[in-house]
Amino acid sequence: MNNKKTHIYFVPGLAADKEIFENISLPENTYSLHVISWLIPIKKETIAQYAKRMAGFVTEKNAVLLVFLLAVWLRKR
């Protein structure tokens, strides 16, 4: 039996906050849920640089990312 959990990272949309995920309930023995809040961009930071900083919060390999914006950028990092 495989005891490895699937890590799911949630990133709320730009007009939402992390509370939109508070009612999501998945089996704790199968999934580990993480919420990544948006960072404040650094002046003159490129979208690639910003995405790299956001990607730093994804610490598990083969994680599932649920995000409406920047998903492609985060996945590349």
Q: Is residue 19 part of a domain?
A: yes
pLDDT at residue 2, rounded to an integer: 57
Largest CA distance in the chain: 49
Q: Provide the CA 43 distance to its chain's centre, in angstroms.
A: 23
Q: Is residue 1 part of a domain?
A: no
pLDDT at residue 70, rounded to an integer: 47
Q: Is residue 39 part of a domain?
A: yes
Q: Is residue 57 part of a domain?
A: yes
pLDDT at residue 19, rounded to an integer: 78
**pLDDT tens digit string along 33-58?**
999 988 999 999 999 999 899 999 99
**14 lies in which domain range?**
6-76
| pTM of full prediction above 0.75 | no
Q: Is residue 32 part of a domain?
A: yes
Number of structural domains the chain divides into: 1
Cα gap 54→51, rounded to integer Å: 5
Q: Is residue 35 part of a domain?
A: yes
